[in-house]
Amino acid sequence: MKKGEVYEGYIEDFDFPNKGSLYIEDRKVTVKEALPGQKIRFSISKKKTGMAEGRLLEVLERSELEDIEPLCSYFGICGGCAYQNLSYKNQLRFKEDMVKKLIDKALPGHSYEWEGIIPSPVQNAYRNKMEFTFGDAYKDGPLALGLHKKGSFHDIVSVCEKSGCVIINSDWRKIVQFTLTFFSERNVPYYHRMKHEGILRNLVVRQSAATGEFLINLVTSTQWKEYGFDEKAMLNEYVNGLVSLEKNGELTEGGSIAGILYTENDTLGDVVKSDRTTCLYGKDYITEEVIGLKFKISPFSFFQTNTKGCEVLYEKAREYIYNTESEMNNPSGKVVFDLYSGTGTIAQMMAPASKRVIGIEIVEEAVEAARENARLNGLTNCEFIAGDVLKAIDLVSDKPDLIIVDPPRDGINPKALDKILDFGVKQIVYISCKPTSLARDLKIMNEKGYKLVKACCVDQFPFTRNVETVVLLGRKFTEDIEYGYVDYEPSDDIVIKGSATYSEIKQWIMENYGIKVSSLYVAQIKDKLGFEKRDNYNLGADGHRVPVCPKEKEEAIIEAFKHFKML
């Protein structure tokens, strides 16, 4: 096998988020964008010890998963939706299998309750926020406004022409298309990310599912004068044109324009960032409603991008936290930490059943919005702190009874995770938008004393590779026999359903966990769980210090008991 060689084969396996794999000459080859069951033609792009990477050239035979025709005319060109040719049933099955596989690989041999995947209540036109980019469709081509072309950093696909992007409605497409036409006719150049020259950068659109109101934010550089444009006159004309869409009845799906903003951004990086933001028309926020709570959404504050799916996600999180409806509606006296709290959605959801809720979020604008939202909802027991969780958590004098984390895509900073786990709370609810980050953090949390109790997926992103995951973790056994959410507690009523010799138990643990345990440790855990055992086991002579079974080995022994049906 050499770099550049071309092969054909059937994709046998798939890893999140987009890596198909097959074996050529006993070497595993991963090929991005290939689906299980597809027969593909590919070239070798990288060769490593025992494995290789391939570049997809052609799909020769479709997978059984590909059971519908794409709904979007830009499918295969746009780098957004990847599963337009999969029925929603197959999308859900595919995502569920990938997440479950990641968790099981991170926690081999662990038992937990898997609750499957919950579908999004809406599959089309579900987005409440989109960031569109100005550029050109090809080098030196006409101005484009849309999403990045698949596999390209530079080329932009204007996804609001023709029938248009299906994850937004026709009102969005009219706003985007008007913007593109307006600036194209006036020959305003886009900002070239490599040369750092030009004006137009992004158009960020948000819409409230509750009110239908749009918040439109035009993002540009400050280079208007260099190109001979009157910035103020141009922006006034643009605003008047957008407003006329509503006044002339062209927004036919219930949309109305709440505010039009203008953001100056001279950052060299390809990010939407505000050096200065000005409200050109209306107000600088929209109001959203989730689970009976109202939220003011400002231009740069985080909010889940699928409002109806967000309600399902947070209902599932609340279900993991509360055992009964009465517990949900009555203050429990608990102090709750909501880490990476965004605009405070989860914190306010927890507030009615908590003594105090403390949210920590690094984006100051989101924190201000969270405080305003708490006032809007009449909640007086919420406090929001602006800062990095790693540092800000040290500023809180309260000790939490429960911790909820909803971190960014990269997961939790390892140092911050150590501080979170040091609180020793009995329950942690982890909401994740990137399963690979979750799997990494679950492994660390397990090693440091937390067991995965239950988990499920919530699909908030139909047609895309992304999926949310919600997990409940409980603290494992501690040396003073204090229990959180675990499967086994000491009891005088334990019934031994099966049996195994000590040798069989130790051999099973070695084969499945690769660790050695002593008969003494097995005896200690039997005693801890209330098993009967013979009197002649060496429990240590008077004055002799008997080693205590480490937590890792204790868990392995318990899993062995379960395997042999002793529990």
Q: Which residues are catalytic?
A: 433
Q: What residues have CB less than 8 Å from 76, skipping those under 6 apart?
A: 70, 150
Mind giving me the DSSP string for 29-73? EEEETPPTT-EEEEEEEEEETTEEEEEEEEEEE--TT--S--SST
Q: Count Cβ atoms below 10 Å from residue 252 Cβ, excluding itself.
A: 10
Which helix (H) or strand (E) segment holds residue 15: the answer is strand 13-15
φ and ψ at residue 431, rounded to 5 degrees = -105, 125
Q: In terms of DSSP bridges, do strands 113-118 and 450-458 run parallel, antiparallel, or are they unpaired?
A: parallel
Long-range contacts of 336-339 (CB under 8 A, 24+ apart): 336/400, 336/401, 336/402, 336/403, 336/404, 337/393, 337/396, 337/400, 337/402, 337/403, 337/404, 337/423, 338/404, 338/406, 339/389, 339/393, 339/403, 339/404, 339/405, 339/406, 339/407, 339/420
Looking at residue 306, the DSSP 8-state letter turns out to be: B
Q: In terms of DSSP bridges, do strands 143-148 and 129-136 run parallel, antiparallel, or are they unpaired?
A: antiparallel
CA angle 175, 177, 179 (to 5 degrees): 70
Q: How far is Cα 230 from Cα 23, in angstroms, rounded to an integer? A: 60
By CB atoms closer than 10 A (0-12, 13-18, 19+), residue 40 is buried
